[in-house]
Amino acid sequence: MAQGQMAPGIVAGRLSSDELAANFDDLHPAYAPHEAAVAADRCYFCYDAPCQTACPTEIDIPLFIRQIQTGHPEAAARTILEQNILGGMCARVCPTETLCEEACVREAAEGKPVEIGRLQRYATDTLMARGVHPFTRAAPSGKRVAVVGAGPAGLACAHRLAMLGHDVVIHEARPKAGGLNEFGIAAYKATGGFAGAEVDWLLKIGGITVEQGSALGQGLTLDALRADYDAVFLSIGLAGVNALRAAGEDKEGVRDAVDFIAELRQAGDLSALPVGRNVVVIGGGMTAIDAAVQSKLLGAENVTVAYRRSRAEMGASRFEQDLAASKGVRLMFNVMPVAVHGNRSAVEIELEYTTSAGGSVTGTGETVRLAADQVFKAIGQTLKGAPEGLELDGRKIRVDGSGRTSVPGVWAGGDCASGGEDLTVTAVAEGRDAAMDIHTQLSA
């Protein structure tokens, strides 16, 4: 059997539809107006606010919170969206506990920050509920820009360019725009089809065309794009998945976590989605946590995250680690996979204990076996099919501070490009900033 096929222990319908609906309800419910007013009143409105410095998109957080406090949530939304056009999604998925809220003065003084993320959601949801777009296009520039990839970086770049008067064509391989916002985050973080609704709202700026089923290497080349457009922005993500490098990883029941999450996000009926009884997720980042928690919410009895380094070295924040634990997920540290056991299907996974020091991981020789009819690989992604001629920085496209690549007229941003952390908010900042540099070049 091919890798990723269902093993006998992987079945659908472990929980009822009502149980699944409750499990996948909104992780952080939206504020009611009076709740938002009370939350906003906790802000000190700091001068040189550390929360703003900690925000990758540099939103003026004290200003938008004051606007909420004074009863103007739509003005607050404009303040947010001027810096981060995907502010609605970022309010839901940003690791605020390690960014703006960790830097909040209230967090330092009391251990309870102003809930900046929920306030941001309140403001942006209020504006988007009106169905209007707060920005208008500049006069047409006559310039055309190609954006490859409709993820956060590509959407942010396209919106800013369109607002500045340029015409933009987004080439997207998948049948829906949104990238990881649509396919790659936990369903309970963005409920009710919000990712798609936000894309539809963003496109109301005008001047943006989305061509789906269009991707580099599938009839689309970088040379052709450079010839047909005045500039090109690449936001192609990281489509490749690292190998487990353990014996038996080709058995039934072993699959990539990103594919599982995408399948779950697009499922019309969660009760029809199969999940194992004993699930082990290999990895230590957000994808690992999202896959593990959602496995548990689907009805898996035993779910374990196995990470080869220590808790302190784990990529997922402590908030996410604690969330997983609160849902019944077991976290194991300093263990790495050496073999998946079973006949044709996964039955057990063998893990070797490790020590990690100075950036390296060393096996101790001591092993432990866990029951595992489903194993998810969440051990990092790689650039797949990098366009020829682009200089790479390790596994990513090398860019400068403005997003320029080694090829004239080509910019890149988001997960595929060297730079900041692989976060939605960072991708938005990179797309926005590249758009401003493209605009400068096109206006010269």
The H or E element that residue 254 is part of is strand 254-256
Specify the CATH architecture of the domain 17-22+241-377.
3-Layer(bba) Sandwich (3.50)
* Closest C-alpha to 172, from 226, 91, 87, 239: 239
**Is 369:348 a contact under the CB 8 Å cutoff?**
yes
CB 427 within 8 Å of CB 415: yes
Read off the pLDDT of residues 300-328 as tens digits, 9 standing for 90 and up. 999 999 999 999 999 999 999 999 999 99
CB 114 within 8 A of CB 101: yes
Model confidence at 1: pLDDT above 70: no
- Rg of the chain over Cα atoms, rounded to whole angstroms, equals 22
Q: Could you say which of 3.50.50.60, 3.10.180.10, 3.40.630.30, 3.60.15.10 is the CATH number of the domain covering 144-239+383-443?
A: 3.50.50.60
DSSP 249: T
111: exposed, middle or buried (Cβ count in 10 Å: 0-12, 13-18, 19+)? exposed
**Average pLDDT value for residue range 105-131:** 96
Q: What's the chain's length in residues?
A: 444
- Please state the domain extents for the chain: 17-22+241-377, 33-129, 144-239+383-443
pLDDT score for 6: 65
Distance CA 111, CA 176 (A): 40
In terms of pLDDT, which residue wins out, 194 or 243? 194
pLDDT tops 80 at residue 202 = yes
Instruction: Name 11's Cβ contacts closer than 8 Å, sequence gap at least 6.
Output: 274, 275
Comparing 176 with 131, the larger pLDDT belongs to 176
Q: Does the structure show a pLDDT above 70 at 418?
A: yes
Residue 331: which pLDDT band, with cuts at 50, 70 and 90? very high
Res 370: pLDDT? 98
Structure tokens given for 339: 């073999």
Close Cβ partners of 388 (under 8 Å, ≥ 6 residues apart) = 222
More reliable by pLDDT, 420 or 237: 237
- Tell me the pairing of strands 360-371 and 374-377: unpaired
The superfamily (CATH) of domain 33-129 is: Alpha-helical ferredoxin (1.10.1060.10)
Tell me whether the CATH fold assigned to 17-22+241-377 matches the one assigned to 144-239+383-443. yes
Decide if 335 contacts 355 (C-beta within 8 A). no
How far apart (Å, rounded) are the C-alpha atoms in residues 197 and 204?
11
How large is the average pLDDT for residues 32-61? 97
Q: What is the dihedral of CA 25, 189, 83, 204, to 10 degrees?
A: -70
